[in-house]
Chains A and B, each alone.
Chain A
Amino acid sequence: MSETLTLPAPIITEKQGRFSRWWHGRSRFARQTISLIVILLLLAFAWEGLKFIGGDPWRPANNPFGIEHNPPFRFKIASDLNLPHLWKIFEAFGRESRRNGPPLIQVLAGAAVFTFREAFLGFAIGGLLGFSLGAIFAHSRVLERGFMPYVVASQTVPILAIAPMVIIWLKAGWLSVAIIAAYLTFFPVTINTLRGLRSVEGTAVELMHSYAASTWTMMWKLRFPAALPLIFTALKISATASVVGAIIGELPSGIRDGLGGAILNFNSYYISGPERLWATILITAFVGIFFYLLVSLVEYLILRNRRRPE
């Protein structure tokens, strides 16, 4: 295959520097990943910066740089109890989670896998439900008008009120947690599926009509592929929401094996070891980001042949 006419070169003006050139040469996925890492680093700097200006005194034995430093201010929020040093948090991963127990990282990794499985199941259920609702509404204005208000209303009922209800109906366990996660994830998928399926323009539809294509063919050969970019946008939102949903679902179900259980547990021991709760929060964020990146990766693989946005 000749590559000569393929990729339209990014527009590069004389003024743009080497960095800009290099940056625009990366794939969208690579750019996303790099931005994410840079933002995380900036956050870490801000965190320790705040502690440097207004935290508790730094003791040589307690920080990896071995410095003695007395911050000029004392902000309550930046105290070692409220905002432990990042290295303390990372240290906590290696220490045992309770007396004679396994290291914290092992406990949290197990909990993360457990919660991720619930979230993933919820994401799958919510995604399918969201897509189906969107597809039905896209084909019937009557159903859309009849049911959309309830779909919207469902999102105004707090998940904290729904969660105990689902657990009463379905009994505490995997499935009910997944359903709660699904409840948080289906809505954006419904909205974007509907918008995407309806976005198809005149002549693209006329072409299908000229082939006397059925509604079904029109759906799978035209509307669905055209809607995919919008659907993926929604799925990325849903991926992170499903992790939140799973954690919230664990709380009233009394499930102790997931991150929700870990948060409750280390929350009650906060005074004696704040870094353990922070470590749990970090892992929770990591699960959300991991899920988001996973969906982004699938999106990239499926949509990489589409026209790049200018």
Chain B
Amino acid sequence: MPPTVSIQNVSKVFNPGETNQVLALKEINLDILPGEFVSIIGPSGCGKSTLLRLIGDLIPPSSGAVLVNGKPAPQARLDQDYGMVFQAATLYEWRTVSKNVQLPLELQSVPKAERESRAREMLALVELSGFENHHPWQLSGGMQQRVAIARALVMRPQLLLMDEPFGALDEMTRERMNQELHTIWEQTNKTAVFITHSIAEAVFLSTRVVVMSVRPGRITQVIDIDLPRHRDVDTRETTRYFELVNLVREALRRAEAGL
């Protein structure tokens, strides 16, 4: 089976040839297999969002190649092979919550009745039932981010690209959302690329954690998370979980020290 995402020797330079030139990513190699849940963790500014944008073909690489489902990334984008959650919720303020979630379906000309029922279903999943007719600015930051997740899930994409989706949530809601996301992933066999600053979250959700370092952004370590596939509240109390959390923490420390 071809990898769902294949990043081959990718570098990204912003503003090449200008005084504000930035080498955001340097020679990244990463294959993500179908059904994997890969978290990317690293210091601020190390190029995590940039890497996710490259996979989604929202920006082109400066060198190297990105394949999604065996196709060049631009083709995969045209085929709508992924659903994306941005670091900022990016909801359209003139649309209600439900209409925001329906947006991708609307662009695919899904009939209205089906759009509405699917949006309702997804909003229930992210615990926002009853907020269908609110407007985004009437919700808290964390609620807005959950609407964005519902919007990414509503297309039922096989590949989910998520940029710190739970960054704005309190610890308890975050753990509940982690559980929800885990269940969705476990039950639907999706592939996920997940950016986070939370070590606990990365370990709990992932099959692999990719650690990056800054200036230039590169992968310093990839840690296999060999916890059982099914995870729940008890997982967070096992010794192996703690060991893995410590492993990731040390890897991050080394990455930040530039080792």
Contact = CB atoms under 8 A, between A and B. Distances in A.
Interface of A: 1-2, 5-8, 203-204, 206-207, 209-213, 217, 221-222, 225-226, 228, 305-307
Interface string B68-92: 0000000001111010101110101
B34 interface: no
B236 interface: no
A221 B107 contact: yes
Nearest to B106: A221
B86 A206 contact: yes
Interface stretch (B35-43, B128-136, B203-211, B220-228): B128-136
B130 A1 contact: yes
Contacts of A211: 80, 103-104, 107
Contacts of B56: 210
Contacts of B94: 225-226, 228, 305-306
22 contacts: A2-B130, A5-B131, A6-B134, A6-B138, A8-B137, A203-B86, A203-B88, A204-B92, A206-B86, A209-B58, A209-B77, A211-B80, A211-B103, A211-B104, A213-B107, A217-B107, A225-B92, A226-B92, A228-B94, A305-B94, A306-B93, A306-B94
Contact of A1 (B80, B104, B133): B133
The SS class assigned to the B binding surface is loop
Nearest to A8: B138
A208 to B, nearest CB: 8
B130 A210 contact: no
A173 to B, nearest CB: 40
Given A207-B90, A210-B56, 7 more contacts: A8-B138, A203-B88, A206-B58, A210-B84, A211-B80, A226-B92, A306-B94
9 tightest Cβ-Cβ pairs between the two chains A and B: A307-B137, A203-B90, A210-B84, A225-B94, A212-B78, A206-B58, A203-B86, A207-B90, A211-B107
Interface residues of B, number: 29
Nearest to B95: A225
B139 interface: yes
Interface of B: 53, 56, 58, 77-80, 82, 84, 86-88, 90, 92-94, 96, 103-104, 106-107, 130-131, 133-135, 137-139
Contacts of A5: 131, 134, 138-139
Nearest to A307: B137
Contacts of B53: 206
A5 B133 CA distance: 12
Contacts, number: 61
B84 A207 contact: yes
A222 B91 CA distance: 11
A119 to B, nearest CB: 29
Contacts of A6: 134, 138
Contact of A7 (B82, B104, B138): B138
A2 B138 CA distance: 12
A120 to B, nearest CB: 26
Contact of A210 (B77, B92, B134): B77
A271 B104 CA distance: 69
Which of A5, A7, A222 has the most B CB atoms < 10 Å from its CB? Answer: A5
A216 B79 CA distance: 18
B38 to A, nearest CB: 19
Given A1-B133, A5-B139, A207 B86 contact: yes
A204 B90 contact: yes
Nearest to A225: B94
Contacts of A228: 94
A2 B128 CA distance: 12
A299 to B, nearest CB: 13
A113 B96 CA distance: 39
A147 B80 CA distance: 38
Contacts of A210: 56, 58, 77, 82, 84
A7 B134 CA distance: 10
Which of B58, B77, B88, B106 has the most A CB atoms < 10 Å from its CB? Answer: B58
Contacts of A306: 93-94, 135
A307 B93 contact: yes
Contacts of B86: 203, 206-207
Contacts of A307: 93, 135, 137
A228 B93 CA distance: 12
B134 A212 contact: no
A222 B93 contact: no
Contacts of A212: 77-80
A214 to B, nearest CB: 9
A305 B77 CA distance: 32
B71 to A, nearest CB: 13
B257 to A, nearest CB: 32
A1 B129 CA distance: 10
Which of A6, A206, A211, A307 has the most B CB atoms < 10 Å from its CB? Answer: A211
Contacts of B107: 211, 213, 217, 221
A203 to B, nearest CB: 4
A142 to B, nearest CB: 23
B98 to A, nearest CB: 11
A204 B58 CA distance: 12
